[in-house]
Copies of this chain bind each other. A is one copy, B any other.
Amino acid sequence: MTQPVRTAPTLAEVAAAAGVSRSTASRALNDSPRISEETKKRVRAAAKEVNFVPNARGRALAVGRTEIIAVLVTEPLSELFSDPTYSEFLSGITEELSESSYLPVILQASSTHERNRAREHFERRSFDAVIDVSPYKGSELLEVLRELGVPTVLCGQLEGHPYRDVFSTVYSDDEEGGHFAALAMKERGRKDIVAVLGPQDNPAVVDRLRGYRAVLGEDLPDANVIYTGWNNGDGYQAMHQILAREIAFDGVLCGSDRIAAGVITALNEAGLSVPADVSVVGFDDHEIATRCVPALTTVRQPLREEGHMAANIALDMIKGAEPTTSVMHMQLIQRDSL
């Protein structure tokens, strides 16, 4: 009961069936202008007849490209999976690449073991380009990619731009985002602001805070800035701490929409009304933002567009383009929490 392991038809068979040489068959299928319409038709018919599909291995060797782009994920998958912003971003990448002949594949590299495997395959030139969705400074893999000269796109700004001259970068302007959020608070007349942000060492967090500060100045005192995780629970807990301090405040800037959701819950439990007593602004325009009560005013990060951009830059770099840096613009989404 062995299955019929039809070995795939090769170009030679197509050529024979069409009564032409291998080279003519190749050119015909690649629509070269040097081949007559008549011959092209015959070759195409023959190819269809035997179900010919060019073998990726042979083609890759000949053209010097595998037509595969690796999407490098250096975080643990579970973390990636719990953060829906990535899913949006990845969809952007695959969407864009599906217009081309390139295939995006997700390459997990969280454990040391996985990183070594990934490194090996980079060295073997298994991929034409790499898109790193969560690059961090000092990553060994980035060092390897740099040495190998593999076209690489970093998604997110690295502090000090250590690879600016070799890698392309795509990121959203977090400072601008902070600007928008803070400006909205100011226009609403809020004067005593609290910020519940993500991890202190996160570059996006730093930039957003800078944006807040530029607008609010002393209305956002140092003591009112809390660093925590990205989740509902983190926001909830942080808000409780703030309430316990019994300071006066009328606005909360949040590092993520999930943080904001937790913050709102905590405020409601404390008998404070949003937005009557306190204004809340989130970040990300996560799906949860519309489900909050009241619906959350937030800063939209153009994740899908970032994905598109990253994919396009990768394709350009494969064609030999110089590395570029591309900044995407944030947008304030007005809802009811302000």
Contact = CB atoms under 8 A, between A and B. Distances in A.
Contacts of A11: none
Interface in A93-143: 94-95, 97-98, 103-108, 111, 113-114, 116-118, 120-121, 123-126
A2 B80 contact: no
A90 B108 contact: yes
A38 B165 CA distance: 43
Specify how many copies of this chain sit in the oligomer: 2
Given A94-B108, A108-B90, A124 B54 contact: yes
A8 interface: yes
Contacts of A107: 103, 105-106
Contacts of A148: 6, 8
B8 A125 contact: yes
Given A126-B103, A165-B1, A57 B66 contact: yes
Interface stretch (A81-89, A171-179, A214-222, A262-270): A81-89
A36 interface: no
B70 A61 contact: no
A91 interface: yes
A139 to B, nearest CB: 18
A109 to B, nearest CB: 9
B114 A94 contact: yes
A123 to B, nearest CB: 4
A15 B183 CA distance: 66
A187 to B, nearest CB: 34
A199 B108 CA distance: 30
A243 interface: no
A114 B98 contact: yes
A242 to B, nearest CB: 24
Contact of A105 (B70, B87, B125): B70
A222 B107 CA distance: 45
Query: Which 8 A-B residue pairings sit nearest by Cβ, starting from the closest?
Result: A105-B105, A106-B106, A56-B124, A53-B123, A56-B126, A57-B60, A57-B61, A81-B81
Interface of A: 1-6, 8, 53-61, 64, 66, 68, 70, 77-78, 80-82, 84, 86-88, 90-91, 94-95, 97-98, 103-108, 111, 113-114, 116-118, 120-121, 123-126, 148-149, 165-166, 322
